[in-house]
Chain A
Amino acid sequence: MASARDRYKSGVMPYAQMGYWDADYEPKDTDVIAVFRISPQEGVDPIEAAAAVAGESSTATWTVVWTDRLTACDAYRAKAYRVDPVPGAPGQYFSYIAYDLDLFEEGSIANLTASIIGNVFGFKPLKALRLEDMRIPVAYLKTFQGPATGIVVERERLDKFGRPLLGATTKPKLGLSSKNYGRVVYEALKGGLDFVKDDENINSQPFMHWRDRFLYCMEAVNKASAATGEVKGHYLNVTAATMEDMYERAEFAKQLGSCIVMIDLVIGYTAIQSMAKWARRNDMILHLHRAGHGTYTRQKTHGVSFRVIAKWMRMAGVDHIHAGTVVGKLEGDPNVIKGIYSICRDSFTFRNLEYGVFFDQDWAGLRKLMPVASGGIHAGQMHQLLTYLGEDVVLQFGGGTIGHPQGIQAGATANRVALETMIKARNEGQDIWNDGPEILAAAAKWCSPLRAALDTWKDVTFNYQSTDTADFVPTAVTA
């Protein structure tokens, strides 16, 4: 950096010389670190671009200002300290930027995000910019509540262990009356699912008012619970236009005895944190539907990677988050999904570039966030789902339950039998990845709903090229 007199002469100066680039900087344990994928415009130097990102996401502006000297300005400047070219993608660079802890308000996702992504993404010298990953220091994590319930407590409340949880979204997405809606819920829960859910756009519309939905759904939940002896639930969507409305709906859900409510990502980070606090105070599991994320998470070059969203959401305090299925109808590369699942549910997430995880992340005792796999999956994929996604996950088979030829209960039973069969086989040491179809076929011999499900959907796959893949692939090592 230039001397003080030169540094603060009026005029425009490259960001790299204003103190936003420091190749020798060693990030402190208390720094927040971000890695951005930068695509500078033609002729823009990558280091200058990285420094500009650092600057524009912390204290800088496009010209030198004397008022900087009223502050301990170097402490507040973000420091880009490393720039690596992206393998196989000329013109793109991974840039590591460190932010001092004092830049951020305690326990506020709104502030964290406003700080990091609030200003810099429209910056002209960059063709494109993507926030790939963040390292949150333990010091900052400790100011957040974290998941209101978490995987361990959720399982203990439901008294369900040793297998993924099963859910479904009521279908059709829109248009059912409350009573008909509740019928779907009852059938699916009675047949064997643990949860049913509202879809993200079911809030309170002319065809179904929210209070009616809640009443009929809870009748269905309780009936199914008595019929099976299990704890059952329906994610009642409390998303609304204002926080006051949301609190009203959540309180009603609590009064009715629901164990779980849901919110959509589009309510915003502030509302999400408020709901997480409410959920913990009221012993409620909080499900988050990631509505709208695809607008900014899907393209590799520009936006925010979903793994960062997942991190923020774990800090904010939701208990469930949709996180990808790999084999279903929505975007999800297996390696990237593994990285996201690790961020959700490990006590310590390890850096692994193949999975797109750039930083070790110590979760400082923050509870674990249950990933939810939803979208175009069916019983015939159970061995793949279990292998890719593990045990601590909610598998949601909406169409796969409600579209079953023998009815909704049969659909639910088919999914539950397929799941329990696969878990049992895995525990016994069978090779479920290769023998999965045979294992399912053997169960289908005594379970006719499963046989019908396999016959109906056995050829359904969604094989499209993934748009969001990891950049680092393992190279062959010579022996």
Chain B
Amino acid sequence: MRITQGTFSFLPDLSDLEIRAQIDYALDQGWAIGIEHTDDPHPRNFYWEMWGNPMFDLRDAAGVMGDLGACRQAHPRAYIRLNAFDSTRGFETTRLSFIVQRPLDEPGFQLKRHEMEGRRIQYTIESYAACAPEGRRYPE
């Protein structure tokens, strides 16, 4: 399957040129860029691993692309996403977030149903990948 988290997941995977354009847009707004990666893409897993701290005061995408390249090398089979953080009062949150790398094969999620009283069902979503230990979740 293909998880559709992030702002551009329904579009074909972004090329490096397209990624740069989005980074430049975020930098133009004065936002800081953070790179994160994970092998557990559960929808409620908000905290992916950070690849370094968010980068502040950058003016050009080249700085981010260098770090992104290093992250890709270190984690070739993980999900990687870019976040843009806005510190303006009234926002103080993420303003843009999109996936820039995915594992070749995404196994997806199992919906577990636990019957309760009446017709009620308690639902849990479990990531197939996360059943394996870290580091062995996605095939070569």
Q: Which residues of A contact B (CB under 8 A)?
A: 152, 155-156, 159-163, 192, 215, 218-219, 222-223, 225-231, 255-257, 346-347, 368, 413, 416-417, 420-421, 423-424, 427-429, 443, 446
Contact A192–B93 (Cβ < 8 Å): no
Mark interface residues in B79-91 (1 if CB within 8 Å of A CB, else 0). Answer: 0000110000111
**Nearest neighbor of B8 in chain A, beta-carbon distance:** A420
**Nearest neighbor of B21 in chain A, beta-carbon distance:** A428
Stretch touching chain A among B59-67, B69-77, B115-123:
B115-123
Contact B11–A420 (Cβ < 8 Å): yes
List the B side residues contacting A416 at CB < 8 Å.
10
List the B side residues contacting A229 at CB < 8 Å.
1, 3-5, 41-43, 108-109
List the B side residues contacting A256 at CB < 8 Å.
120
A-B CB proximity, top 8 nearest: A229-B3, A347-B90, A162-B96, A226-B111, A427-B25, A162-B7, A222-B123, A226-B109
**How far is A429 from B4 in the complex, measured between Cα atoms in Å?**
24
Contact B4–A226 (Cβ < 8 Å): no
List the A side residues contacting B22 at CB < 8 Å.
424, 427-428
**How far is A161 from B34 in the complex, measured between Cα atoms in Å?**
14
Contact B92–A192 (Cβ < 8 Å): no
**How far is A228 from B9 in the complex, measured between Cα atoms in Å?**
10
Contact B7–A421 (Cβ < 8 Å): no
Contact A257–B11 (Cβ < 8 Å): no
Contact B4–A159 (Cβ < 8 Å): no
With A215-B119, A228-B3, A417-B11 as known contacts, state yes or no: A155 contacts B98, CB within 8 Å. Answer: no
B2 to chain A, nearest CB (A): 8
With A152-B91, A428-B21, A446-B12 as known contacts, state yes or no: A226 contacts B125, CB within 8 Å. Answer: yes
Interface residues on chain B, size class? 35 or more
**Nearest neighbor of A223 in chain B, beta-carbon distance:** B111
Contact B97–A161 (Cβ < 8 Å): yes
Contact A421–B11 (Cβ < 8 Å): yes
Contact A159–B90 (Cβ < 8 Å): no
List the B side residues contacting A443 at CB < 8 Å.
11
**How far is A256 from B120 in the complex, measured between Cα atoms in Å?**
7
Q: A222-B125, A423-B7 are in contact. List 15 more A-B contacts (CB 8 A).
A: A162-B96, A215-B119, A215-B120, A215-B121, A219-B123, A225-B109, A225-B111, A225-B125, A229-B5, A230-B4, A427-B21, A427-B25, A428-B25, A429-B21, A429-B25
Contact B4–A424 (Cβ < 8 Å): no
List the B side residues contacting A222 at CB < 8 Å.
111, 123, 125
**How far is A397 from B46 in the complex, measured between Cα atoms in Å?**
28
Asked if B140 lies at the interface with its beta carbon under 8 angstroms from chain A, I say no
Q: Can you list 14 A-B pairs, Cβ within 8 angstroms, ordered by A?
A: A152-B92, A156-B46, A156-B93, A156-B94, A162-B7, A162-B95, A225-B111, A227-B109, A413-B10, A416-B10, A420-B10, A423-B8, A427-B22, A443-B11
**How far is A421 from B8 in the complex, measured between Cα atoms in Å?**
8
Asked if B53 lies at the interface with its beta carbon under 8 angstroms from chain A, I say no
A130 to chain B, nearest CB (A): 30
Contact A162–B109 (Cβ < 8 Å): no
**How far is A162 from B121 in the complex, measured between Cα atoms in Å?**
33
A185 to chain B, nearest CB (A): 14
List the B side residues contacting A161 at CB < 8 Å.
7, 83, 93-97
A368 to chain B, nearest CB (A): 7
Asked if B18 lies at the interface with its beta carbon under 8 angstroms from chain A, I say yes
Contact A162–B98 (Cβ < 8 Å): yes
- The contact of B44 among A155, A231, A368, A417, by CB within 8 Å, is A231
**How far is A219 from B12 in the complex, measured between Cα atoms in Å?**
30
With A155-B93, A215-B120, A225-B125 as known contacts, state yes or no: A420 contacts B7, CB within 8 Å. Answer: yes
B36 to chain A, nearest CB (A): 12
Contact B123–A159 (Cβ < 8 Å): no
